Structure 1
Amino acid sequence: MLLELIITNFALIENLNIRFGGGLNILTGETGAGKSIIIDAVNMAIGERADKSFIRTGTDKSVIQMIFRSQNQHLIKILNEKGIDLFDNDIIIITREIYNSGRSTSRINDRVVTTSLVKEISKYLIDIHGQHAHQSLLYPENHIDILDSFDEQKIVALKKKVATKYYELKELKNKLDELCGNELERERKKDLLKFQLNEIDACQLKVGEDTDLLSEYNLLSNSEKIFTIMSSSYEKIYNGDGRYLSIIDGIGNIIHELENIKDFDDHIKNMYSMLQECSYTFEDVSRDIRNYRDNIEFDPLVLEQIEKRLDLINDLKRKYGNSIDEILSYREKIYFELEELENSETIVVEIRNNIDKIKIEYIELSTQLSSIRKEISSTLEKEMIHVLEGLNMNKVIFKVNFANNIDQVDESIFSPKGLDKIEFLISTNAGQQPKSIAKIASGGEMSRIMLAFKTILAHSDNIPTLIFDEIDTGISGRTANIVGEKLAIISRNHQILCITHLPQIALMADHHFYIEKNSQDNNTLTNVQKLSEEDRIMELGRLLGGITLTDLTMEHAKEMINLGNHFKNSLK
């Protein structure tokens, strides 16, 4: 259930906090007061595309926050898998911040999340029927998805299998097109792959070779500098330079002097021993330096060969990868690609056999899926007729029409959804054959048809909160009364938020909110206030009589509210 909606700096709204209750929440107000803005804000909060144009002028960002209470175990499991805990064991807070830069941030219980996750969990919390949602019924290609949604758990696993087989077929057909395509292009590709293979193989690359060569290059190119420093170091350690003793001779003299006094004190003896160790170490180091120096060879030819080898490897890197590993991986890839092209006839036969095999599997799975859909459609037809009759469409016939999805040459069109082509047909008058909803239904009938769909879907999916924005389009009189009663009935098991301009629907409110637009200090702001019983009578009178409220209008409004309360009490 939606407990609270908080909107800040969104379009005409500066600060808005609406606390909804259970049952039927009605929102009314003058045209242009901002009723649709609230729906826009809710849509963005639950993951629709963020639009920075809604940020209130003069502010940096808009914030929309929705607080829900839910104990849906499947939803809780999804959140737990994402590391998101519920507040107080059943509270879920969805927050959307939209910035002037165009960036937006979504949070669930203070954890930053993706909009896709918000959309995923929102479908377990709320369902919105906006002013234009009924248009989805006008396009038959949407009907298969609407049908599947009525018993999704029953077919979801099978639908995934069908989709998997479809994409396997698509991939194989693409492969077949590649192999059976333009002969000249195929030969060109073979020549290119052969050239690339020969170029890589001729280099006889070894993993890590470039690193070793670079080290050797650096050593050889600096051999003169190394020789000079090594010679100087050896002289300083072992021979000295004429003016100064060598390091070894200097240490030897100190050792000789300490030898005369080392027995007077243990500290001196320790220093004597340490200097002896140093002397041995310097002897070893000087010998190593001399040997290293004597083995230094500078061969310009070797250096040139290394340079050429590195240039060759770098040239291959520019063409085939950033490292020797990547070049060798690319080599493996094109080797198998060339092998396929050279053995294309054998591979084509194999692919065609696989296509035939997977086609059979796809058709079998799609046939099973179609069979389950027909079972679902039979139940849907009965429920839709029952609900529509309750909405004053007494002679209605509703059918789910199944046809083979075929092209212009009677070939079956495969799709990820199976082989079915589904369309909803309806007849709203006695003696009239069911036809496409788009051709038959008026605006008022379309609103009731969508209300019927939403009613059945809400029960099957157990969606706790339903929002209807102008579900009353095109209806009036007795039909409006019936729609109001239907909403009241649904609201006994679901929380409903309904934006309306009809008194026949507003009178059924368990909680009534009035949306108004005020101008002050050159600013126009939208506000919402919850109406008391007395205020409800005034608002219903406005809906009945317009600007001028007569005593008769007010009495009529009061009587309507009493009738609404009587009807709601009869539902308990």
Structure 2
Amino acid sequence: MLTELSIRDFAIIDQISITFHEGLTVLTGETGAGKSIIIDAVQLLAGGRGSVEFVRHGSKKAEIEGLFILEGKNHPIYQVGKNFGIEISDDQVVLERTITANGKSICRVNSKLVTLGILREFGKTLIDIHSQHETQSLMDPESHLELLDLYDPEAMKQTKTEYSDLYDRLGTLKARYKDLSENEQEMAHRLDLLEFQLKELEQANLEPNEDEVLEEERSSLANFEKIYTALQDAYNALYGEQKGLEWVNSARNALDMSSDYDAFIKEKSEEISNHYYALEELTYSLRNYSESQHYNPERLNEVEARLNEINRLKKKYGPTVNDILDYMAKIEEEIEEITNKDSHLAKLADQIEEVEKDAYLEAQQLHDIRVKNAKALEAEIKNELKDLYLEKATFSISFQHITDNDLEVNQREKLHKNGFDKIRFLISTNAGEPLKDLHKVASGGELSRIMLALKKIFAKHQGVTSVIFDEVDTGVSGRVAQAIAEKIYQLSSSSQVLCITHLPQVAAMADTHKLIEKAESNNRTSTKVEELTSKEQVVELSRMITGTQLTETAKEHAKELLELAVTFKSIN
């Protein structure tokens, strides 16, 4: 869960540090106090899109840092860390995001610099932010398949991976078939280019690792004098009268004379003898290698010329000789493919048909899993909506009907990156009314309740670490507001929940209540966060009920809300 959040020079926030706890934390305050700005900061911490507009006026950079405490070693974040080579120790993850005034974004995970994409991978595993904008995404049928797949991702993980591999391979084969079958003139130009390149590379007569061998030879030839001198000096230091070998031999003889009288001397005598013979062999090797050295300026010129030719080819075909040879093998294959285009097109067509059949089989398995999940999800959503006073609502997941004949004729067109399924969420909110698309029948308040039901279900199935709600209770009141409050609290029993709200019913359910206020100092506006005591919470709830003017009735109502919340918590 998110335990510490530090924000500096972000929008109207000068500097704040907020401690969060388990359960439900509610953030309230006047409009414009900075509640949503805090959520914006968390969203950036999770890899959201940044902007220089977030940097506080007059500051060089905005900084956000969040500490997450993990529960158990089975959290998926450990696998994410392993994938990107980031160590996670002490069950803690620290995400950092800096946005400079000139627009640069700097991301860190556990103090290690990462890309924004990597930060996003960590963020989506730790934080699930739900805003009014996300509620509106329910209106788009294109998002419905993704939502269904979130219901039980483990059940379809392997099948989805296998399908994705086949789909990517299918796309590659189709692209190659298209390249070969279309644009004869372009293909002829391509063949001319490849034949020219192949001829140039064949004439070069390259050998594997030739550049490395020549570089080593050039170094030896260019530094002949230094090498020869080093060999001679080393040899002369070891061989001859009063030189190294002679002194080692003297030491060996001295020990050998007394080796029969002392075990230690005998052991060391044998050791020094071994070293002596090894040095002697080394000395002869130095002498022989030195005698084999001959300065050859002509060979040096040949090597230089050959390396110049290889470097010229490297600029065109690859960074190393081995890379150039790999490229040469590829263009030989492509030339053969273009020259014998018809036979290759027939072979590609067979491969496409085979891979497409395999892909369809995997897509069918995905479909079967989705149908099973859809039925379970429909039943769960119906129960959740009943608790949210949509007891007459009927929710259904509709799969696009595809006949067997359609699949035989149009199989290619039916497959997409997620299989062949196209689904729509349908709902009827009143008894006797037909099922229709969400955007045709659902109001803002109904959409909020549907999304809340989905979030509660998905959080249970996915083990989400922290769920954040940003004013998703807009457009509801009365008993519906109370039902939403109860549902949000129930969700907090399995995940940490942070909730920005204007509803006193939701605020009363809080395990921790934080008040966001604006303050002015030195003609600058800033945001401050204060954790409320029980008495202060009564005052804040009263303000939320009546507005700025507090009345005794409002305070009594606030106390009653808190008492009802305590009663509800005790039985849930």
Instruction: Work out whether the TM-score is over 0.5.
Output: yes
Structure 1 residue 104 displacement after superposition: 3.1
TM-score by length of 2: 0.78
Change (3 A) 1:200 1:459: closer
Determine whether 1:498 maps to 2:499: yes
Matches within 5 A, 1:424-443: 424-443=425-444
Structure 1 residue 67 displacement after superposition: 2.1
Structure 1 residue 199 displacement after superposition: 3.9
Distance 2:304 2:3 in 1: 73
Other-structure match for 1:341: 338
Q: Does the CA-based 8 Å contact 1:210-1:313 persist in structure 2?
A: no
Distance 1:392 1:16 in 2: 39
Distance 1:498 1:376 in 2: 29
Distance 1:113 1:332 in 2: 37
Structure 1 residue 513 displacement after superposition: 1.0
Change (3 A) 1:338 1:24: same
Q: Deviations over 1:99-132 (max 9, x none)?
A: 3343333333334444444333334433110231
Other-structure match for 1:99: 100
Distance 2:555 2:27 in 1: 20
Aligned match for 2:377, one of 377, 380, 386: 380
Matches within 5 A, 1:390-539: 390-404=387-401, 412-539=413-540
Q: Deviations over 1:124-157 (max 9, x none)?
A: 4331102311122111111111101110011011
Change (3 A) 1:187 1:494: closer
Q: Deviations over 1:383-429 (max 9, x none)?
A: 0010011001111011111115789x966421121010011111111
Q: Deviations over 1:285-317 (max 9, x none)?
A: xxx9xxx99xx999xxx9999999999777756
- SS of residue matched to 2:348: helix
Matches within 5 A, 1:317-328: 319-320=316-317, 327-328=324-325
Q: Does the CA-based 8 Å contact 2:45-2:123 persist in structure 1?
A: no
Distance 2:93 2:311 in 1: 56
Structure 1 residue 21 displacement after superposition: 2.3
Other-structure match for 1:141: 142
Across the two proteins, how many residue pairs are aligned to each other?
494
Determine whether 1:17 maps to 2:17: yes
Change (3 A) 1:149 1:322: closer
Change (3 A) 1:209 1:370: closer
Q: Does the CA-based 8 Å contact 1:425-1:435 persist in structure 2?
A: yes
Structure 1 residue 36 displacement after superposition: 0.7
Q: Does the CA-based 8 Å contact 2:211-2:307 persist in structure 1?
A: no
Q: Does the CA-based 8 Å contact 2:466-2:496 persist in structure 1?
A: yes
Structure 1 residue 441 displacement after superposition: 0.8
- SS of residue matched to 1:62: strand
Distance 1:108 1:314 in 2: 41
Other-structure match for 1:246: none
Change (3 A) 1:361 1:326: closer
Q: Deviations over 1:439-458 (max 9, x none)?
A: 21100001111100100001
Change (3 A) 1:199 1:118: closer
Distance 1:117 1:501 in 2: 34
Q: Does the CA-based 8 Å contact 2:150-2:458 persist in structure 1?
A: yes
Structure 1 residue 320 displacement after superposition: 4.4
Change (3 A) 1:324 1:2: closer
Alignment-mate amino acid for residue 560 of structure 1: L
Other-structure match for 2:60: 60
- SS of residue matched to 1:73: coil
- SS of residue matched to 2:74: helix
Change (3 A) 1:31 1:180: same
Change (3 A) 1:44 1:209: closer
Distance 1:520 1:197 in 2: 74
Distance 1:297 1:29 in 2: 85
Q: Which runs of 5+ in 1 are unaligned?
A: 220-287
Structure 1 residue 48 displacement after superposition: 1.6
Distance 2:491 2:302 in 1: 86
Determine whether 1:371 maps to 2:368: yes
Q: Does the CA-based 8 Å contact 1:404-1:419 persist in structure 2?
A: no
Q: Does the CA-based 8 Å contact 1:84-1:108 persist in structure 2?
A: no
Matches within 5 A, 1:271-282: none
Distance 1:499 1:98 in 2: 24
Other-structure match for 1:260: none
Determine whether 1:569 maps to 2:570: yes
Q: Does the CA-based 8 Å contact 2:459-2:491 persist in structure 1?
A: no
Distance 1:426 1:123 in 2: 29
Change (3 A) 1:367 1:328: closer
Distance 1:21 1:488 in 2: 14
Other-structure match for 1:39: 39
Distance 1:149 1:430 in 2: 29
- SS of residue matched to 1:513: strand
Q: Does the CA-based 8 Å contact 1:23-1:491 persist in structure 2?
A: yes
- SS of residue matched to 2:108: strand
Structure 1 residue 52 displacement after superposition: 3.0
Distance 1:558 1:403 in 2: 52
Task: Name the stretch that deviates more: 27-36 or 308-317.
Answer: 308-317
Q: Does the CA-based 8 Å contact 1:26-1:499 persist in structure 2?
A: yes
CA RMSD of aligned residues (A): 3.4
Distance 2:496 2:303 in 1: 78
Matches within 5 A, 1:216-255: none
Distance 2:71 2:312 in 1: 62
- SS of residue matched to 1:487: helix
Matches within 5 A, 1:141-180: 141-180=142-181
Q: Does the CA-based 8 Å contact 2:314-2:324 persist in structure 1?
A: yes
Q: Does the CA-based 8 Å contact 1:64-1:97 persist in structure 2?
A: yes
Matches within 5 A, 1:244-323: 319-320=316-317
Distance 1:554 1:176 in 2: 75
Change (3 A) 1:19 1:337: same
Q: Does the CA-based 8 Å contact 2:86-2:110 persist in structure 1?
A: no
- SS of residue matched to 1:74: coil
Structure 1 residue 569 displacement after superposition: 2.5
